[in-house]
């Protein structure tokens, strides 16, 4: 079994891991151009439990919330994120938020970046533990894209 799974496969795997006493951590995002901020964030997220599940916005979902994006197609984003050592599983979701997926998977821990207030994190009302990890200022995909645009002018 690979690390990139559909919802039903992932649910079965999470149920199995929970039965073994594993603590499941869930995070989500676009992860369009993976950078050091993402790597640090995912390492810290993984440290909150035994297994890290990353839910990636599909291309259509990214386009709705970030006009002009994604830059990298979903299959490639999933492959890159799943290749990171701290990531155990990757799945895709097409809604603007992962609320339905969180309700379906029922992870033990929910993690988002520090640009999110804990009480505004989708699913925090469902998941027992929710964390807003520190945001690393000056490191973002948007800033990288802007820098590239300036270089191309």
pLDDT tens digits along 25-40: 999 999 998 989 899 9
**Angle 14-19-23 from CA coordinates, rounded to 5°:** 60
Q: What secondary structure letter does DSSP report for 49?
A: S
Per-domain residue ranges for the chain? 7-152
Rounded Cα gap, residues 5 and 8, in angstroms: 8
- According to CATH, the topology of domain 7-152 is Rossmann fold (3.40.50)
Residues lower than pLDDT 70 in the chain: 1
Q: 57 pairs with which residues across the strands? A: 93
Residue 1's pLDDT is what?
A: 66
Model-level pTM? 0.92
Rounded Cα gap, residues 76 and 138, in angstroms: 25
The residue among 125, 131, 93, 96 whose CA lies nearest residue 111 is 131
């Amino acid at each position: 079994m690979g690390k990139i799974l559909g919802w039903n496969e992932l649910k079965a795997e999470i149920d199995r891991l929970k039965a073994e006493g594993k603590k499941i951590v869930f995070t989500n995002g676009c992860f369009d151009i993976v950078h050091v901020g993402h790597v640090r964030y995912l390492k810290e997220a993984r440290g909150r439990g035994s297994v890290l599940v990353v839910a990636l916005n599909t291309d259509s979902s990214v386009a709705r919330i970030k006009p002009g994006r994604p830059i990298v197609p979903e299959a490639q984003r999933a492959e890159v994120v799943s290749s990171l050592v701290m990531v155990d599983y990757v799945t895709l979701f097409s809604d603007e938020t992962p609320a339905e997926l969180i309700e379906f998977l029922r992870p033990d821990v929910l993690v988002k970046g520090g640009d999110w207030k804990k009480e505004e994190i989708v699913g925090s009302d469902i998941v027992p533990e929710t964390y807003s990890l520190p945001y690393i200022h000056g490191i973002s995909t948007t800033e990288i894209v802007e820098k590239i645009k300036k270089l191309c002018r």
